[in-house]
Amino acid sequence: MGSYVGVFGMGVMGQSLALNIANHGYAVSVYNRHDEATKDFMAGRVRTDQQRQLVTPTYDLEGFVQSLDRPRKVILMVKAGPVVDAVTDSLLPYLEKGDIVIDAGNTFYQDTERRMEAYAQKGINFFGMGVSGGEKGALEGPSIMPSGDRALYDNYLGKLLTDISAHTADGAPCCDYIGKGGSGHYVKMVHNGIEYGDIQIIDEAYFIMKNLLKMSNAQMADVFETWNKGRLDSFLIDITYKILREKDDLTEDDLIDHILDESGQKGTGMWTAQEGLEMHVAIPTMAEAVFARNLSAVKGERVAASLVFADKPVVSIEDRDAFLVDLEQAVYASKIMSYAQGFQLLDKASRQHDWGLKLGDIALLWREGCIIRAKFLGRIKSAYDEGDVVNLMMTDEFRDEIKAAVPGWRRVVVKALEGGVYAPTLANSLMYFDGYTSEKLAANMCQAQRDWFGAHTYHRDDRPHEESFHHQWEQF
């Protein structure tokens, strides 16, 4: 008997996933292009008797593939991009018809679909698999979003992947078959777009507390900790208050005050924003979160501009406690808007690609294990259990809470605007809410303008929508 599965790539994530697999009683072979990483892994992290028995190190590709039970199942834990093609190609001489290669990276879904087609011609079954949860998740149970051939998933992958995934308190696995094609990576991409939104919303709350309320790190930590005991209970709020309490190891100060305000990104948030544009779905909260990172990255330009436009208005807030209540409302309502947008994008993509995504179940997959894990995801699942959802803000689950949040949310955004404090996701989530809940918008004027300068035609409110009209505007 060989190993049930192979893990290709012994970075920290690959190592952690291999241990997770062994900890669940599956024999796993591991391989890395450079032997050192495999040797270090075996010497440093493979510790228990069960792990030593079940993890097989291999040092050449042929040996790696031959150590696996048929059909071979190889999980690629490598950087997304051309490396995935290079690695899969290097495995081809040793793989046989019917073997399964699973890309567990943050790959763009169209690349996954291209690979599925290309490798199918060579008899290899290619799967895309979104995995979230970082190193700890990979070791202790990530959220897993696999897509590809349903029958192969049921026969060879489903049990393994659900076993190693995170589980909710009532025992539901945070892994389920997502659909065909690149749907798994698509869902992971939207997860990351939402992750960007969640992060930016929280960061704006921090920034408002710091700049408008002039609160200390310790005071802000207490606020986030309190929020984390309520409806905002989530991994990202949890780490935020802990970050605020972290001491620097180079100075006597709090670490957060020495971390440069320039954030990086690897592209998944940007892809989500691009998809929103491609699919004609309004997802301003997530898009603004990407723009916020872009703006943060031009630190030098910002410093120069801050000297030219030096004076930020001073805003006074009389009742700090009341404002903090408003701020929690603003954060919560913006979060609902962000998820409402993300799920609308998933819904449209699902219909367009015929993926049949089960949106409530996807919310449950994110309930534990992943970066956006939160109590709130259980509420989204309940909203989908109520019946058809057009927009989460309209569901029984969220409607009344949003109504209650709106006045405080507006007060927060107004204060941020008055004080010149950058809060794009709180503000644009509110703009989204105001746009989505407006029976009338200014688009009648837009249609008239387009018809004037380009004869693009317009629809009328007193004629069937199928009919288009063109008006003879003033002649040039």
Active-site amino acid positions: 188, 195
Q: Tell me the closest approach of the beta carbon of residue 371 to ligand 6PG, in angstroms.
A: 4
Residues 7-66 that bind ligand 6PG (CB under 6 A): none
Tokens at 382, concatenated: 């309940």
Q: Is residue 98 within 8 Å of residue 73, measured between CB atoms?
A: no
CB of 137 to ligand 6PG, least distance (A): 6
Per the CB < 8 A criterion, the answer to whether 55 and 30 are in contact is yes
Contact 119, 89 (CB under 8 A): no
Restricting to residues 227-266, which ones interact with ligand 6PG according to CB under 6 A?
264-266
Residues 6+ apart with CB under 8 A from 240: 202, 206, 224
Helices (H), 143-262: 150-152, 158-164, 183-211, 217-227, 235-244
Tell me how far, at minimum, the Cβ of 129 lies from ligand 6PG, in Å.
Answer: 12
**Minimum CB–partner distance for residue 365 and ligand 6PG (Å):** 12
User: Backbone dihedral region of 356: left (phi > 0), alpha (psi from -120 to 50 degrees) or beta?
Assistant: left
Interface pattern 132-161 for ligand 6PG (x via CB under 6 A):
xxx---------------------------
Q: Which is nearer to ligand 6PG, 265 or 382 (CB)?
A: 265
Task: List the interface residues with ligand 6PG, window 259-318 (CB under 6 A).
Answer: 264-266, 268-269
Residue from 22, 25, 28, 20 nearest 4 by CA: 28
Candidates 116, 114, 194; CA nearest to 365 is 194
Q: Binding to ligand 6PG by residue 201, rule CB under 6 A?
A: no
Q: Does 371 bind ligand 6PG (CB under 6 A)?
A: yes
For 267, counting Cβ atoms within 10 Å of its Cβ (0-12 exposed, 13-18 middle, 19+ buried), the class is middle
Nearer to ligand 6PG, 104 or 340 (CB): 104
User: Rounded to whole angstroms, how far apart are CA atoms 172 and 165?
Assistant: 10
Residues in binding contact with ligand 6PG, number by CB under 6 A: 13
Member of 87, 370, 405, 426 binding ligand 6PG (CB under 6 A): 370
195 vs 254 by CB, closer to ligand 6PG: 195
Nearer to ligand 6PG, 57 or 130 (CB): 130
Residues 175-194 binding ligand 6PG (CB under 6 A) are 192
How far are the Cα atoms of 10, 27, 55, 207, 314 from residue 69, in angstroms, in the given order?
20, 10, 14, 54, 68
Q: Which of residues 79-108 bind ligand 6PG (CB under 6 A)?
A: 106
Residues that bind ligand 6PG (CB under 6 A): 106, 132-134, 192, 195, 264-266, 268-269, 370-371
